[in-house]
Amino acid sequence: MSPSKCPHCKGEIKLETVQRETKGVGFIKQEIMYSCPHCGSVLGFSRGKFMS
């Protein structure tokens, strides 16, 4: 997987550095919110795997 760039600050987003915040409890309604480590902008949501 290649690194992507933040649409807001053009910072490089890597799987190792992306900010993750898990929403929801348990496995029924769990979402992972990804945000830019540079500017904190929300990049998107995912259920389960990272931007697969």
Contacting positions for Zn ion (CB under 5 A): 6, 8-9, 11, 36, 38-39, 41
In terms of CB distance, is 6 or 18 closer to Zn ion?
Answer: 6
In the complex, least distance from residue 32 CB atom to Zn ion, rounded to whole angstroms: 17
In the complex, least distance from residue 31 CB atom to Zn ion, rounded to whole angstroms: 20
User: Which is nearest to 16 in space by CA: 27, 31, 29, 1?
Assistant: 1
What letters, b where the CB count within 10 A reaches 16 and e where it falls short, cover 10-27?
eeebeeeebeeeeeeeee
In the complex, least distance from residue 21 CB atom to Zn ion, rounded to whole angstroms: 15
